[in-house]
Homo-oligomer: A and B are copies of this chain.
Amino acid sequence: MNDVPGATSSSGVVVHLNDSDPAKHAAVLRNVSNLIDALEPETKIELVVHGPAISLLLPGSPHSETVRALQHRGLAVDACQNTLRGEHILPDRLIPDTVVVPSGIAHLVIRQREGWAYLHP
């Protein structure tokens, strides 16, 4: 796919998660796992978590082990600072290696401008 104009095999993918439902979290994490399996190893994949989905990254999340395992396979996990502020959540309560971005929703735009694909499963 290297000859596609405006895209290379190393273009990234942003995955949008803003749902509070743990069953939805599980489905999206399965999707991310399938993405990692299917795309080239150098493809950057970022899961952008904002709004009520922030529960995925907090203590007590039923999926924290799965998130950690995906991080070890290369997934970057971003949390929205606007959400953290609004919910009075300190960043050090989040799953380790989470990156805090100023605005989750704006980050999804910035990545698309950089040529990344967008998915909202």
- The main secondary structure of chain A at its interface with chain B is mixed
A118 contacts across to B, CB distance below 8 A: 112, 117-119
Contacting pair A34 B117 (CB below 8 A): no
Q: Does A100 contact B (CB under 8 A)?
A: no
Query: Smallest CB–CB gap between A30 and chain B, Å?
Result: 8
Interface centre among A6, A18, A109 (most CB of B within 10 A): A109
Contact (Cβ within 8 A) A114 B31? no
Asked, given contacts A113-B11, A119-B16, whether A105 binds B1 with beta carbons under 8 Å apart, the answer is no
- Known pairs A120-B120, A121-B16, A121-B18; A34 contacts B105 (CB<8 A): yes
Known: A6-B5, A113-B4, A114-B4. A34 touches B121 (CB 8 A): no
Return 7 A-B CB contacts under 8 Å, by A number: A1-B110, A7-B113, A34-B105, A34-B106, A35-B106, A38-B103, A51-B121
